[in-house]
Amino acid sequence: MLRIAVQSKGRLNEESTALLREIGIDVDDSKRKYISKASNFPVEMLYLRDDDIPGVVANGSADLGIVGLNEVMEKGYDVEIVEKLGFGGCRLSLAIPKADEYEGVSYFDGKKIATSYPAILNKFLKENNIKATIEVITGSVEIAPAARIADAIFDIVSSGSTLIANNLKEVEIVLDSEAVLIGSGNLSPENQEILNEIMFRMESARISRGKKYMLMNIPEDAIDKAIEILPAMRSPTIMPLAAKGWCSLHSVVDNDSLWSKVHQLKAIGAEGILILNVEKIIL
């Protein structure tokens, strides 16, 4: 049984459990439960505050954890990053009052900076030889300059609208973050096998995302052009049709280029184009 720590509520909870469901692990995330077993896979979920996840993975209370890279770096525990998960994207940035001139990090010399991430900030200041005071506050960091608690802030930025609403501007990005799967690095052989299966399924889920399956009828003499338009995993599947001179062509395409491909294929004579969702791709 492999134990995975995930955030109990908050920004990462939903996508963490959705990811596990996407790879076929039946997660019961009725949020009042602290621990719950998946019904169809040998994993047990441990629901915690995100701040506690790196620690429980480091001390072996959980085998894996899903948490923001920002929390992992701040806590500084000896855990390994098994996989970047592609959601919960944000950055840890320094921001200052909008009206202030900014010509470089020396701006922060002698200043007071409010943050919930003192360890990451301290490291950045040291590396840049800046002597500033760190004021640790655990919430509403963005109000610190207006409230005269600090001159500047070091906080999570995503869209940037919180900074704008508080008359602040982002001047240095210190860390790019996203949700990561972390592990302690010493699993039993049995749990390592479970992790391998999870990684195998995650890879398949990653490849399948944003893909569509396309099939169409196409005149035989347009096949070469169609193959140029549709580079598939190896090459498109082509099957003869009962109607002479026609065949059926199947391929997988990126959602982003779907409509441009549809128009290119119609231009070379494709008809009856069907577009279907892809459930899973295993290479």
Residue 175: name its binding partner from Zn ion, ligand PRT, none (Cβ under 5 to 8 Å by kind).
none
Quick one: which segment of 48-56, 123-131, 230-238, 256-264 binds ligand PRT (CB under 6 A)? 48-56
CB of 107 to ligand PRT, least distance (A): 21
**With respect to Zn ion, which residue has the nearer C-beta, 182 or 230?**
182
Kindly tell me which residue out of 160, 227, 232, 264 binds ligand PRT, with binding defined by CB under 6 A: 160
- Could you give the C-alpha distances from 230 to 36, 253, 274, in angstroms and in order? 45, 7, 14
Q: How far is Cα 40 from Cα 27, in angstroms, rounded to an integer?
A: 9
End-to-end CA distance of the chain: 27
**With respect to Zn ion, which residue has the nearer C-beta, 29 or 50?**
50
Residue 88: name its binding partner from Zn ion, ligand PRT, none (Cβ under 5 to 8 Å by kind).
ligand PRT
Question: Tokens at residue 96, please?
Answer: 């200052």
Q: How far is Cα 198 from Cα 16, in angstroms, rounded to an integer?
A: 13
Q: How far is Cα 54 from Cα 65, in angstroms, rounded to an integer?
A: 7
User: Helix, strand, or coil here: 43?
Assistant: strand
Residue 249: name its binding partner from ligand PRT, Zn ion, none (Cβ under 5 to 8 Å by kind).
none
- Contact between 64 and 196 (Cβ < 8 Å): no
- Spell out, one character per residue from 63 to 82, where the chain touches ligand PRT: x when CB under 6 A holds, - when not: -----x-xx-----------
- Could you give the C-alpha distances from 177 to 19, 34, 63, 163, in angstroms and in order? 18, 26, 22, 18
Residue 128: name its binding partner from ligand PRT, Zn ion, none (Cβ under 5 to 8 Å by kind).
none
Strand partners, 113: 134, 152
Instruction: Kindly give, in sequence order, each residue whose CB lies less than 8 Å from that of residue 22, ignoring residues fewer than 6 positions away.
Output: 205
Residue 158: name its binding partner from ligand PRT, Zn ion, none (Cβ under 5 to 8 Å by kind).
ligand PRT
Q: Which of positions 83-122 make contact with ligand PRT (CB under 6 A)?
A: 88, 90
Kindly tell me which residue out of 161, 189, 239, 283 binds ligand PRT, with binding defined by CB under 6 A: 161
Assess 265 for contact with ligand PRT (CB under 6 A): no
Residue 135: name its binding partner from Zn ion, ligand PRT, none (Cβ under 5 to 8 Å by kind).
none
- Signed CA dihedral, 53, 58, 59, 63: sign only: positive
**With respect to ligand PRT, which residue has the nearer C-beta, 129 or 161?**
161
**With respect to Zn ion, which residue has the nearer C-beta, 50 or 155?**
50
- Sequential DSSP letters for 66-131: EEEHHHHHHH--S-EEEEE-S-S-EEEEEEEETTS---SGGGGTT-EEEES-HHHHHHHHHHTT--
Quick one: which segment of 23-31, 33-41, 47-55, 107-115 binds ligand PRT (CB under 6 A)? 47-55
* Contacting residues toward Zn ion, per CB under 5 A: 50-51
CB of 227 to ligand PRT, least distance (A): 42
User: Helix, strand, or coil here: 157?
Assistant: strand
202: amino acid identity, one letter: M
CB of 30 to Zn ion, least distance (A): 21
Kindly tell me which residue out of 15, 29, 50, 135 binds ligand PRT, with binding defined by CB under 6 A: 50
Binding site for ligand PRT (CB under 6 A): 7, 10-12, 49-51, 68, 70-71, 88, 90, 142, 155-162, 177
